[in-house]
Amino acid sequence: MLDFDISILTIGCLLIFIVGILLKKYKNKDNIYLLFFSVFSIYIVFVLKYTIFPIPLDKELIETMRNNDTLAYFNLMPFKFDLNDLSWQLKQVVYNIILTVPFGFGLPFLTRINKRELILSTLAIECLQLIISLIIGFPYRYFDMNDIVFNLLGVIIGYFIFRILAVLFVKVINKFKVKLNPVMKYIYDVSKSK
C-alpha cells in the first residue's frame, strides 16, 4: 500500500515550493499571491490524503480485489442511498460538502474561473480515482455519483460564501476608509474584482 505518510507530505510540500518559485520567476507573482497559493495548495494536498490514499500496490491484494464484484464499487445514480446504512451515508454527504467548501472559497483568490471550469475542477478528484483504478486494474475506491453531486454543492457553497464576504469586505473598507496592509489590500483587490 502506498499510504499518505511523511514522505508523501514532504513531496507535496516540495512540489508546492517548486511551483511557487516558478510562479514568482516566470509569472511575476508577488509574495502575497504565493502565500494564498501555498495555503490553497496545502489544502489540496490534504484533500488528496483523504480521497486518494491509500493506493494499493501489493500484487496479491490487487488480484484479490480484481476477483471481487467490481460493479459493487459503483453508484451511478445521484441521490441513491442504501436505507440500511443511512446514517453513515448522511455523514458522507456532510463530509463531501465540508471537504469542498474551502475549494470554492479559496480558488477565487488564485484565479478567475467561470462556472464551467469550476464544475470541471470539482470532477478532478473522482477522475483521478478513476485513472488510478484503471492503472491498477480495479476500482480501489468506491465511485459514487453522490460524491460528485455533494462535492459540487460544497464548492458552490464555498464560492457563495466568498462572494458574500467579498461584497461585505469591500463595503466595510470603503465605508470606514480602512488603511490596508499588503494582505488586506490583496483580499480587497480580489474581492473588488469578483
pLDDT recorded at residue 72: 56
CB 75 within 8 A of CB 143: yes
List the chain residues with pLDDT less than 50: none
The DSSP output letter for 110 is T
pLDDT recorded at residue 59: 81
Where are the domains positioned within the chain? Answer: 6-193
pLDDT recorded at residue 73: 63
Residue 191's contacts (CB-CB under 8 Å, 6 or more residues apart) are: 165, 166, 167, 169, 170
Query: Cβ–Cβ contacts within 10 Å for residue 148, how many?
Result: 18
pLDDT recorded at residue 61: 74
pLDDT recorded at residue 69: 56
Q: Which of 12, 5, 7 is nearest to 45 (CA)?
A: 12
Residue with cell 471481487: 68
pLDDT recorded at residue 74: 72
Which uninterrupted H or E stretch holds 74?
A: strand 74-75
